[in-house]
Structure 1
Amino acid sequence: MRRGRGAHGYDSLSGFRTQQSEPAVPQGLLKNARKSGQLNLSSRGLQDVPQNVYRLNVDPPEEAQQAVSFGGSDRWWEQTDLTKLLLSSNQLTTLSEELRLLPALTTLDLHDNQIQSLPRAIGELQELRQLRLSSNQLRALPLELFSLALLSSLTLQHNLLESLPPELGQLTSLTELNLSRNHLQELPCSLGDLRHLQKLSLEHNQLGSLPDSVGRLSCLRLLDCNNNQLTTLPSSLAQMTSLEQLFLRQNRLTLVPPLPSDSLKELYLADNQISTLGSEQMSGLSVLSSLELRGNKISTLPEGALPSTLTRLDLSNNDIGILPPTLGLLPNLTVLLLEGNPLRGIRRELLNKGTMELLKYLRGRIKEEPGDTSEKPCGLPLPSHAAVDLHNISALKLLQYSNKQAESVRDELFDAAAGHCITSVNFSKNQLSSAPSRLLDFASSLCDVDLGFNRLTCVGPELCCLLKLQHLDLRNNLLCDLPSELQNLTKLRSIILNFNRFKSFPVVLYELGNLETVLLGNNQVGSVDASRLQALVHLSTLDLSNNDMLHVPPELGLCSALRCLSLEGNPFRTPRAAIVAKGTDAVLEYLRSRIPAS
């Protein structure tokens, strides 16, 4: 019996022996990487990239030192060059210059680390197509990076970049460039040399302008400049012949910028300082379907200012007093948002009835010309026409089945929309007792759902799983509560719950941090939690009219984003009706004055 071992072979000294640490990268992974050309080391707590990873295709593996025979699948000398290396969600702060030993890489994923600088050897990865560097601590980029002639996707969001060199324009194969959430104050003129670029994300920087060369980006389809400090945009923007989506929310624009008239489909200008709309410029946008102008200073809409192709128009929280009757003639408009405007001549109950009723009212105010029969009904439609509108589905991405008094939505409607990226659904004015389960068919694209004027008693999983949803209309139903699962809808910006049976403010709404509009009028709500409402930093419109509130909490005055607060028709004594009649600013100022001094 050997010393240190008991009668049964137990090693009594094992506690004193040095334990061999597990390798940072198991040999099995490296062996598989040599066969597949792919190595996934994400979320392994790595502080450094092990040297044997860099030398994967240089040094012979351990099997080569062993005198054993190999089967067909174990021939180490037939290894494949590493083409895909995933190192995301680790604790890396730097990379070695030995990165040059992996020249066949086409994908390098380093996002969600703590990398402060890149090695110059990055420029030797001449086969690289995708480079993911988001959520790091990069303040600058090595010039060698801009020699990667085949690079098509470069993601740099959530870093500390303050500037970019002129060499950026050398990346002529780029189709996607994400520079959002950095500290950029300007962009190099060479940006216009990225002639294949299709998607450019610049949101959450400090840009005061864009270079005039941006107009040369003839393939660009999406430009996101939200949350910057833009005061103007170059006139060359109108030359971007492929631009379909333009995001300019939360800037300092006072005028609608020059726009490409033949390609732009979606324009987002919320929360700027725009006061007027150019009639000729706006009406010339021949394919525009979605226009967002909420949170500006627009006071009038000139006659014929808007393109006939519009399906969605958001004018919330402006200074519009009068709507031109010709607005009712927009043939494709299905969503019109007007909350937070000092509208005159239109009863509030009419606004609560929805877009179709409002447009019908506006059309009725147009003096009918002799012999004009365009607005007259022409008998009962054929059942096939009533069932499926293929134009709405294919051209407008709209699934419409409203005002049918139906208890369910027929499957043939969903079948006809299969394969289309439906963004809006209108099933209002029916007898539905629950949301159709097949709404989930469009979970990846659906942004607007209108189920108003039905008989819904609860909100089921069909709606709670629509993670792209931004606008939800549930007015005139039989709802008394909302499920906690609704907090999954993190992109939800407006919810309409007027004319239901709520006895309290739905708790789940306090959890939806992106909410801008909550309409809860004509229910039985007795109170709200003002401290939790303050956490909704984007909430600009809150309708609590015609409820059962006996007390208005003074802390409600601290909801600084509110521009429209409706409290009329409640039995509280303070604030007095005379103060409520003065409008939102007066009510909020009064409430703040009632907060006890600390």
Structure 2
Amino acid sequence: MNRGSRPGKVDSLAGFRPQRGREEEPEVPAGLLREARRSGQLNLTGRGLKLVPPDVYRLDVDAPPESRHDVSFGASDRWWERSELTKLLLSSNQITRLDDDIRLLPALLTLDLHDNQLDSLPAALGELQQLRQLRLSQNHLSLAPVQLSSLVNLQTLTLQKNRLESLPEELAKLTRLTHLDVSYNLLGALPSSLGGLESLLDLNVSQNRLSRLPPGMDRLLLLRSLDISENLLEELPDLSALTQLETLHLRRNKLRLLPRLLPPNLKELYLGNNQLDSEGVEPLSGHAHLSVLELRANRLTSVPAGVSALHTLTRLDLANNDISTLPPAIGLLPDLKVLLLEGNPLRRLRRDILTKGTEELLKYLRGRIELDSPGEPAEPSGLRLPSDEPLNPEGIRTLKLLEFRKASCVPEHVFTAAAGRNITTVNFSKNQLTCVPERLLEFSSSLIDINLSFNRLTCSEVLCSFLQLTHLDLRSNQLSVLPPDMKNLNKLSCINLQFNRFRTFPEVLYLLDSLETVVLGNNQVQVLDPAGLLKLVKLNSLDLSNNDLDRVPPELGLCTGLRSLVLDGNPFRTPRAATLAKGTESVLEFLRSRIPDNKTC
């Protein structure tokens, strides 16, 4: 027998030797358990756990080891008798399973399991009758178990960023639920019983596959905020019964028409990236409390009637539409602080006015009201051609504007009518053009603004010859590449390419250091070259929304000249939605913090 293994001999190194199976049993530091018994709260966020430690489940059941020692404790030291566990935070781990032993924590009020790898939930979860907050976002759940309906005291339930395809009808039993978030899932429909959530204040069902809303939504009489963004809605039910609703998000759906009646006390309405035209938004008239109205990236050809009567508006977003004129009455809105108009073919409004900001623009519009005579005819005088030839000779003569629409090609007489004129602006939007008209080259020395949006263009080589060009609108075409010779457009400051077929950020744009605004939303862009973007020293606005970016390069944070960076609607995991919501500056700061110390761009 070895001398070191004599019976009764204490092995002084035993505590340093690895023990079989120890690595499979996650442990919690004794100090944390001690504090949890005292405070009733246990925070195990971000500890790399794959399972919930057994000691956690039995925290309210087993006496602590110290209680078995032959030691006298005063009342103030008997910490294991203090509090039942009411708050358990297990977020940002790698937990794959929640055991039935969760029922051993019946006093829990808050259970946070977001950002884990759960693909199912135990039936025993339904026994936590005191639970008020349950956070299960960013897991792998494909099914919301019926047992959730047993949590009758639940007030907050977050299930966003899972794989849910449906919700149980029994969810309506959660009559005390005030906040429900099931965004970023695969829901094709909502349960018909949803209207039974009579206490609901905040409902988020954005980023799903909803083509309609269930009947009974009008029973959510306490609802204050409703987010249905980024779904497949083509129409809305009557929501006028929701008298407490103040915020309604409907961005990125397929809406062509608003219901005749909207919630009467709306303060914020977001309708960007739909298919609304000016007639489709007529119900906006008469909303006395509306403060924020977003209508960007729709099909508006004019400012909707009634907008100038919304006297409580503080923010009006009409960007990226097809609005050519701005009614002077907008200048009379008393509280308007932000008016966004970029991406519209505005005529009779100098670009220097637009660049001076909202306050100066409103002042200019008020001045127009004073200058206009009450008896002045609505239509400018001058020769009018037949309606089947939509050409405006007066615009050619006075505005240096060549405009023609609603045709499959631009007839020769249009160019002949403008011959010899120093045309500065061309608007051939909303035609069916498949290529850029060659005769535009007749105005190559004077053109500074070209609008070819809403056509069927597949190539754009002709545009490389317009060396004076500053603004180019090519949205809603069929373009997948830009010609290399476009690098010669060294005065181009704004280009709009949204709703095309680009799979990569056009390489030639990295060579145009005059660019200030690039709109590339609603394409299929998958990768970015941050080094190329850093060369664009004047770039202050970059829209990459609704593309296929699965990664945002951290070096993009070095583009500190950006004042507007739009990344919504891409499949990347970071930055998260909460970071994006804080605005461009916060996003850039976050990205810079992710750059490795030894890496430069």
Is the structural similarity TM-score above 0.5? yes
What SS does the aligned partner of 2:216 have?
helix
Q: 1:310-321 counterparts in 2 under 5 A?
A: 310-321=313-324
Tell me the CA shift for residue 85 of structure 1: 1.0
2:31 to 28, 42, 48: 28
2:100 corresponds in structure 1 to 97
Q: 1:453-472 counterparts in 2 under 5 A?
A: none
- Return closer, same or farther for 1:356/1:18 CA change in 2, 3 Å cut-off: closer
Q: 1:199-238 counterparts in 2 under 5 A?
A: 199-235=202-238, 237-238=239-240
- Return closer, same or farther for 1:42/1:527 CA change in 2, 3 Å cut-off: closer
Gaps of 5+ in 1: 372-502, 517-525, 541-560, 562-598
1:192 corresponds in structure 2 to 195
- Return closer, same or farther for 1:285/1:162 CA change in 2, 3 Å cut-off: same
In 2, Cα distance between equivalents of 1:82 and 1:96: 17
- Return closer, same or farther for 1:161/1:24 CA change in 2, 3 Å cut-off: same
In 2, Cα distance between equivalents of 1:49 and 1:18: 22
- 1:52-77 per-position Cα deviation (integer Å, ceiling 9, x unaligned): 22111122221232222112233266
8 Å Cα contact 1:207/1:229 also seen in 2: yes
- 1:44-101 per-position Cα deviation (integer Å, ceiling 9, x unaligned): 2111112222111122221232222112233266242111111111111111111111
Tell me the CA shift for residue 149 of structure 1: 1.0
1:498 corresponds in structure 2 to none
1:240 corresponds in structure 2 to 242
- Return closer, same or farther for 1:342/1:41 CA change in 2, 3 Å cut-off: same
2:297 corresponds in structure 1 to 295
AA at the equivalent of 1:538 = S
2:325 to 322, 338, 342: 322
What SS does the aligned partner of 2:364 have?
helix
In 2, Cα distance between equivalents of 1:309 and 1:172: 35
In 1, Cα distance between equivalents of 2:82 and 2:15: 40
- 1:169-199 per-position Cα deviation (integer Å, ceiling 9, x unaligned): 1111111111111111110121111111111
In 2, Cα distance between equivalents of 1:11 and 1:304: 87
- Return closer, same or farther for 1:85/1:527 CA change in 2, 3 Å cut-off: closer
8 Å Cα contact 2:322/2:345 also seen in 1: yes
- Return closer, same or farther for 1:349/1:118 CA change in 2, 3 Å cut-off: same
Tell me the CA shift for residue 136 of structure 1: 0.4
8 Å Cα contact 1:184/1:205 also seen in 2: yes
In 2, Cα distance between equivalents of 1:539 and 1:360: 35
In 2, Cα distance between equivalents of 1:248 and 1:343: 26
What SS does the aligned partner of 2:171 have?
helix
Tell me the CA shift for residue 43 of structure 1: 1.4
Tell me the CA shift for residue 155 of structure 1: 0.7
AA at the equivalent of 2:199 = H
In 1, Cα distance between equivalents of 2:113 and 2:535: 45
- 1:398-450 per-position Cα deviation (integer Å, ceiling 9, x unaligned): xxxxxxxxxxxxxxxxxxxxxxxxxxxxxxxxxxxxxxxxxxxxxxxxxxxxx
In 2, Cα distance between equivalents of 1:14 and 1:75: 31
Q: 1:42-53 counterparts in 2 under 5 A?
A: 42-53=45-56
2:137 to 134, 139, 158: 134
2:265 to 263, 269, 292: 263
- Return closer, same or farther for 1:253/1:280 CA change in 2, 3 Å cut-off: closer
1:81 corresponds in structure 2 to 84
- 1:107 maps onto 2:110 in alignment: yes
- Return closer, same or farther for 1:41/1:527 CA change in 2, 3 Å cut-off: closer
What SS does the aligned partner of 1:207 have?
coil
- Return closer, same or farther for 1:270/1:370 CA change in 2, 3 Å cut-off: closer
In 1, Cα distance between equivalents of 2:521 and 2:73: 59
Gaps of 5+ in 2: 375-511, 524-532, 548-567, 569-601
Tell me the CA shift for residue 369 of structure 1: 10
1:357 corresponds in structure 2 to 360
1:164 corresponds in structure 2 to 167
1:553 corresponds in structure 2 to none
- 1:254 maps onto 2:256 in alignment: yes
- 1:519-571 per-position Cα deviation (integer Å, ceiling 9, x unaligned): xxxxxxx99559x999952399xxxxxxxxxxxxxxxxxxxx9xxxxxxxxxx
What SS does the aligned partner of 2:106 have?
coil
1:281 corresponds in structure 2 to 283
In 1, Cα distance between equivalents of 2:13 and 2:364: 92
- 1:9-35 per-position Cα deviation (integer Å, ceiling 9, x unaligned): 999977995459586112222222222
- 1:537 maps onto 2:540 in alignment: no
In 2, Cα distance between equivalents of 1:353 and 1:16: 71
AA at the equivalent of 1:242 = Q
In 2, Cα distance between equivalents of 1:323 and 1:537: 27
In 2, Cα distance between equivalents of 1:117 and 1:539: 30
What SS does the aligned partner of 2:230 have?
coil
- Return closer, same or farther for 1:527/1:370 CA change in 2, 3 Å cut-off: closer
Q: CA RMSD in A?
A: 3.8
8 Å Cα contact 2:106/2:127 also seen in 1: yes
8 Å Cα contact 2:296/2:320 also seen in 1: yes
Tell me the CA shift for residue 289 of structure 1: 1.0
8 Å Cα contact 2:258/2:281 also seen in 1: no
In 2, Cα distance between equivalents of 1:534 and 1:367: 34
AA at the equivalent of 1:141 = A
AA at the equivalent of 1:188 = P
- Return closer, same or farther for 1:151/1:18 CA change in 2, 3 Å cut-off: closer
In 2, Cα distance between equivalents of 1:41 and 1:322: 58
Mean Cα deviation higher: 32-41 or 15-24: 15-24
Seq. identity, %:
55
Tell me the CA shift for residue 210 of structure 1: 1.1
In 1, Cα distance between equivalents of 2:268 and 2:27: 48
8 Å Cα contact 2:169/2:191 also seen in 1: yes
- 1:101-128 per-position Cα deviation (integer Å, ceiling 9, x unaligned): 1111101111111001110011110000
1:578 corresponds in structure 2 to none
- Return closer, same or farther for 1:515/1:357 CA change in 2, 3 Å cut-off: farther
What SS does the aligned partner of 2:339 have?
strand
- 1:180 maps onto 2:189 in alignment: no
In 2, Cα distance between equivalents of 1:132 and 1:539: 27
- 1:342 maps onto 2:349 in alignment: no
In 2, Cα distance between equivalents of 1:113 and 1:505: 45
- Return closer, same or farther for 1:527/1:31 CA change in 2, 3 Å cut-off: closer
In 2, Cα distance between equivalents of 1:15 and 1:79: 31
In 2, Cα distance between equivalents of 1:59 and 1:527: 59
AA at the equivalent of 1:241 = T
8 Å Cα contact 1:261/1:286 also seen in 2: no
In 2, Cα distance between equivalents of 1:68 and 1:527: 67
What SS does the aligned partner of 2:218 have?
helix
- 1:438-484 per-position Cα deviation (integer Å, ceiling 9, x unaligned): xxxxxxxxxxxxxxxxxxxxxxxxxxxxxxxxxxxxxxxxxxxxxxx
1:558 corresponds in structure 2 to none
In 2, Cα distance between equivalents of 1:167 and 1:12: 59
8 Å Cα contact 2:156/2:177 also seen in 1: yes
AA at the equivalent of 1:341 = N
What SS does the aligned partner of 2:240 have?
helix
- 1:40 maps onto 2:47 in alignment: no
- Return closer, same or farther for 1:138/1:345 CA change in 2, 3 Å cut-off: same
Q: 1:508-587 counterparts in 2 under 5 A?
A: 536-538=543-545
In 2, Cα distance between equivalents of 1:198 and 1:40: 28
Q: 1:474-513 counterparts in 2 under 5 A?
A: none
In 2, Cα distance between equivalents of 1:195 and 1:34: 36
- Return closer, same or farther for 1:70/1:149 CA change in 2, 3 Å cut-off: same
In 1, Cα distance between equivalents of 2:104 and 2:263: 49
